[in-house]
């Protein structure tokens, strides 16, 4: 794999992450929805992160609205 292709895949992951984090996020969403639907009136609302024991990243860390080419160009400038 060339450095250019690696950079492209890195940019694509930043745009649309895959793997364990995404699976854990989906499971956390389902669990928090069920828990919130069944919680008492005076108890606090559950967050998705309450059901993600392995890791939790800020939503701001995942940049979903960016073009992978744009991210790739920024990475090239930083590592340039």
What are the pLDDT digits (tens) for 6-57? 988 888 888 877 777 778 878 888 998 999 999 988 988 888 888 877 665 5
Structural domain spans, the chain: 3-79
Q: Span 58-66, mean pLDDT?
A: 48
The enclosing H or E element of 10 equals helix 3-15
Task: Categorise residue 19: left if φ over 0, alpha if ψ from -120 to 50, beta otherwise.
Answer: left
């Amino acid at each position: 794999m060339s450095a250019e292709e690696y950079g492209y895949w890195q940019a694509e992951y930043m745009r649309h992450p895959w793997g364990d984090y995404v699976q854990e996020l989906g499971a956390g969403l389902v669990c928090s929805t069920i828990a919130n639907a069944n919680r008492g009136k005076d108890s606090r609302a559950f967050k998705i992160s309450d059901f993600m024991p392995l890791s939790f990243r800020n939503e701001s860390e995942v940049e979903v609205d960016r073009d992978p080419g744009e991210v790739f160009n920024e990475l090239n400038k930083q590592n340039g």
